[in-house]
């Protein structure tokens, strides 16, 4: 799927640029995208290292296991193939909490940590496991209680009702997350290949 999407985007883009005569813009944009990628990763490495350090501490202190146990009832529904009490459930719960609090920069490193542990359960296969699909879909549809970035933007635009959008955001994000989980469940069930 990613192969297809990627190639389609590049090839369609090229053809349209030829028709529109926007080759110069296209060349600049391509080179700038490389620079942007490095900047994004550079910006990610700092908070990521920091959170991975904190996560290691939380693990050694037994906190991750406690979180994993708290999360057990919901985990049974979302991730039926992950053994109960597995530490990855703690990592997943840390990621969900960071998302809920609107701490985007912290949610990504914690999510990657969880992906690593899911990959161990997946025996380092190149194909995403059921649990990874579920985890990814929940993350792409976002779980926000407090949309911090948007609130900051509204404050700087001198809004009189900064928080008016919290309720509507909560409603929309619940709808998208529930839809994501359901679609994922259905697709997992009807997929012909049975992955681990």
Q: Does 180 bind another protein (CB under 8 A)?
A: yes
- In whole angstroms, give the CA distance from residue 182 to residue 193: 19
> Which residue, among 60, 148, 53, 162, has the nearest Cα to 105 in the 3D structure?
148
Number of residues that make up the chain: 196
Interface residue with another protein among 88, 89, 131, 132 (CB under 8 A) is 132
Short-list 191, 195, 184, 172, CA closest to 77: 184
Binders of another protein in range 43-102 (CB under 8 A): 44-46, 48-58, 60-63, 101-102
* Spatial separation of the C-alpha atoms in residues 195 and 74, rounded to whole Å: 22
Eight-state DSSP code of residue 196? -
Number of Cβ within a 10 Å radius of residue 137: 19
Stretch binding another protein (CB under 8 A), from 69-77, 83-91, 158-166: 158-166
Q: Which of 123, 126, 189, 192 binds another protein (CB under 8 A)?
A: 126
Residue 194 touching another protein (CB under 8 A): no
Nearer to another protein, 73 or 163 (CB): 163
Name which of 75 and 132 has its Cβ closer to another protein: 132
Q: Which one of 68-76, 78-86, 174-182 is the stretch in contact with another protein (CB under 8 A)? A: 174-182
């Amino acid at each position: 799927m990613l192969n297809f999407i990627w190639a389609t985007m590049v090839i369609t883009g090229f053809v349209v640029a030829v028709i529109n005569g926007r080759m110069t813009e296209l060349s600049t944009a391509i080179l700038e995208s490389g620079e942007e990628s490095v900047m994004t990763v550079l910006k990610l490495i700092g908070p990521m290292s920091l959170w991975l350090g904190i996560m290691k501490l939380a693990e050694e202190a037994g906190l991750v296991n406690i979180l994993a146990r708290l999360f057990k009832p919901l985990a049974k529904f979302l991730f039926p193939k992950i053994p109960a009490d597995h530490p990855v459930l703690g990592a997943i719960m840390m990621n969900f909490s960071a998302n809920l609090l609107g701490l985007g920069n912290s949610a990504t490193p914690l999510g990657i940590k969880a992906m690593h542990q899911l990959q161990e359960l997946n025996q380092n296969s190149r194909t995403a496991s059921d649990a990874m699909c579920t985890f990814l879909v929940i993350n792409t549809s976002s779980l926000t209680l407090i949309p911090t970035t948007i609130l900051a933007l509204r404050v700087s635009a001198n809004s009189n009702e900064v928080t008016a959008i919290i309720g509507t955001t909560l409603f929309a994000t619940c709808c998208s997350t529930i839809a994501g989980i359901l679609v994922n469940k259905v697709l997992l069930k009807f997929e012909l290949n049975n992955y681990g």
